[in-house]
């Protein structure tokens, strides 16, 4: 795709972005919809907020997003965190909101509420997460971005962390997203091109407790917004292409305060033992269509059995070599798919590793 096909004229927009806002700020409220997508709408605030409590509750028409019936369609937006807006810049902000029903119950797709309770209950263990979000770029016709029309690129091999024409695609878009995340205050820890061409990864973390889900959702929002400007679609499907092409995951790296200090390995081993006992309960929350990805091939473990190992990328749980060598640190759960709700995954993770599991 050539740059002449870029659909938004963001260069022209710059002229208006620098207009004086007369002290007003624009808050773009974002929320999670019924299909794991993100929706957003903007409003004007009379002044810059100094804390989350300054941000008003709002609402939207839930009958238009599949989140409420037409006869009782208002869904409430309760702000939970906010970030600098890299698109509007200045004091403008992006506000992440939880969805609540009219009757005072959390909306069906509000998984944050339960997650926050679990994080609070196990606060003393100071759980950190680091998520590796993999995703695939598509063009506007849903073909894998920059792949030959009606054909396939050369087999996998040169693309992972690739450098050079024909090995890497859309680096401009990926770089723009990276910068946007840093501007917004997202704890983005890195990016890399993935094994399948036009598949990429960014990492967010370590983040404490509930902050992990919040930051990943905002990073996903920023990704989709940046991609709009480049005329690219983002797919979070765990197996966008059948055949000998890697799927997309969201490896979940985890540690408690006890794991992070010398002697921590025995706590990592205890967590792995607990995880083994709840394999299927975890799998149930680890993303839809994940069975297409967890085949035991392409750097995955089979979905039907639990395994763990040091430096083993074919296991359910990998303990990084450096962690095994030092005797403390963190572990990686490789099972979650790219389309997970991070609140569900981090929630069940603390429930399992921080709680007492009955035999």
Q: Please give the residue ranges that form the binding site for ligand ADP (CB under 6 A).
A: 128-130, 132, 189-190, 203, 205-206, 251, 253-255, 260, 329-330, 332
- Dihedral sign computed on CA atoms, order 33, 35, 36, 42: negative
Complex with ligand ADP: residue 227 or 319, whichever CB lies closer? 319
Cis peptide before 206 (omega within 30 of 0): yes
3-state SS, residue 175? helix
Residue of 112, 220, 251, 293 interacting with Mn ion (CB under 5 A) = 251
Q: Is 301 exposed, middle or buried (0-12, 13-18, 19+ CB in 10 A)?
A: buried
Query: Structure tokens of 117?
Result: 């309770």
Q: Is 233 exposed, middle or buried (0-12, 13-18, 19+ CB in 10 A)?
A: middle
Shortest distance (Å) from residue 37 CB to Mn ion: 20
DSSP letter assigned to residue 278: T
Query: Structure tokens of 26?
Result: 């624009």
236 contacts 338 by C-beta, under 8 angstroms? yes
DSSP letter assigned to residue 356: P
Restricting to residues 125-144, which ones interact with Mn ion according to CB under 5 A? 132
333 is a contact residue toward Mn ion (CB under 5 A) = no
341 contact choice in Mn ion, ligand ADP, none (CB below 5 to 8 Å, kind-dependent): none
260 contact choice in ligand ADP, Mn ion, none (CB below 5 to 8 Å, kind-dependent): ligand ADP
| Per-residue buried b or exposed e for 58-97, using 16+ beta carbons within 10 Å of the residue's own CB | bbbebeebebbeeeebebbbbbbbbbbbbbbeebbbbbbb
Q: Which of 13, 12, 9, 1 is nearest to 172 (CA)?
A: 1
Q: Which of 230, 246, 235, 228 is nearest to 144 (CA)?
A: 235
Shortest distance (Å) from residue 201 CB to Mn ion: 4
CB-based closest residue to Mn ion: 251
Complex with ligand ADP: residue 36 or 320, whichever CB lies closer? 320
Restricting to residues 272-301, which ones interact with Mn ion according to CB under 5 A? none
Complex with ligand ADP: residue 95 or 301, whichever CB lies closer? 301
Residue of 28, 98, 201, 333 interacting with Mn ion (CB under 5 A) = 201
Residues 6 or more apart whose Cβ sits within 8 Å of residue 9: none
Complex with ligand ADP: residue 26 or 258, whichever CB lies closer? 258
247 contact choice in Mn ion, ligand ADP, none (CB below 5 to 8 Å, kind-dependent): none
205 contact choice in ligand ADP, Mn ion, none (CB below 5 to 8 Å, kind-dependent): ligand ADP
Shortest distance (Å) from residue 146 CB to ligand ADP: 23
Shortest distance (Å) from residue 193 CB to ligand ADP: 12
128 contact choice in Mn ion, ligand ADP, none (CB below 5 to 8 Å, kind-dependent): ligand ADP
Complex with ligand ADP: residue 62 or 249, whichever CB lies closer? 249
Q: Backbone phi, then psi, for 92, in 5-degree steps? A: -65, 150
Q: Taking contact as CB under 5 A, which single stretch among the options 135-143, 157-165, 199-207, 337-345 is the one that binds Mn ion?
A: 199-207
Q: Taking contact as CB under 5 A, which single stretch among the options 20-28, 113-121, 243-251, 284-292 is the one that binds Mn ion?
A: 243-251
Q: Backbone phi, then psi, for 339, in 5-degree steps? A: -100, 20
Q: Report d(CA 324, CA 345) in Å as an integer.
A: 24
Q: Which of 118, 348, 356, 122 is nearest to 257 (CA)?
A: 122
Complex with ligand ADP: residue 32 or 186, whichever CB lies closer? 186
Shortest distance (Å) from residue 158 CB to Mn ion: 16
Q: Report d(CA 144, CA 166) in Å as an integer.
A: 14
Shortest distance (Å) from residue 345 CB to ligand ADP: 13
Residue 30 CA, chain-centre distance (Å), reads 14
How big is the site for Mn ion, counted in residues (CB under 5 A)? 3
254 contact choice in ligand ADP, Mn ion, none (CB below 5 to 8 Å, kind-dependent): ligand ADP
**Binding residues for Mn ion, per CB under 5 A?**
132, 201, 251
């Amino acid at each position: 795709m050539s740059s002449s096909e870029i659909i938004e004229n963001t260069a022209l927009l710059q002229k208006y972005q620098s207009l004086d806002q007369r002290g007003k700020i624009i808050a773009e409220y974002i929320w999670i919809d019924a299909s794991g997508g993100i929706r957003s709408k903007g409003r004007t605030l009379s002044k810059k907020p100094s804390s989350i409590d300054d941000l008003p509750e709002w609402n939207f028409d839930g009958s238009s997003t599949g989140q409420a019936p037409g006869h009782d369609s208002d869904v409430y937006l309760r702000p939970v965190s906010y970030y600098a807006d890299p698109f509007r810049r200045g004091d403008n902000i992006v506000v992440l909101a939880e969805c609540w029903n009219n009757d005072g119950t959390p909306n069906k797709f509000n998984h944050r509420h339960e997650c926050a309770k679990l994080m609070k209950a196990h606060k003393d263990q100071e759980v950190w997460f680091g998520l590796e979000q993999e995703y695939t770029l598509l063009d506007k016709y849903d073909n894998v971005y920059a792949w030959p029309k009606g054909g396939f690129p050369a087999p996998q091999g040169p693309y992972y962390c690739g450098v050079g024409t024909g090995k890497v695609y859309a680096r401009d878009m990926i770089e723009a997203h990276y910068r946007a995340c840093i501007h917004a205050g997202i704890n983005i820890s890195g990016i890399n091109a993935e094994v399948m061409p036009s598949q990429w990864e960014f990492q967010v973390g370590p983040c404490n407790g509930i902050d992990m889900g919040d930051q990943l959702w905002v990073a996903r929002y920023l990704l989709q917004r940046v991609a709009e400007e480049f005329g690219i679609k983002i797919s979070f499907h765990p197996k966008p292409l059948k055949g000998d092409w890697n799927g997309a995951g969201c490896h979940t790296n985890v540690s408690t305060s006890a794991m992070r200090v010398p002697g921590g390995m025995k706590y990592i081993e205890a967590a792995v033992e607990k995880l083994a006992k709840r394999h299927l309960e975890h799998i149930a929350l680890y993303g839809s269509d994940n069975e297409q990805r967890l085949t035991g091939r392409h750097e995955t473990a089979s979905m039907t059995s639990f395994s763990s190992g040091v430096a083993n990328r074919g296991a359910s749980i990998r303990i990084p070599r450096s962690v095994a060598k030092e005797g403390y640190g963190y572990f990686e759960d490789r099972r979650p798919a790219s389309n997970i709700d991070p609140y569900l995954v981090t929630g069940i993770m603390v429930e399992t590793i921080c709680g007492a599991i009955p035999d």
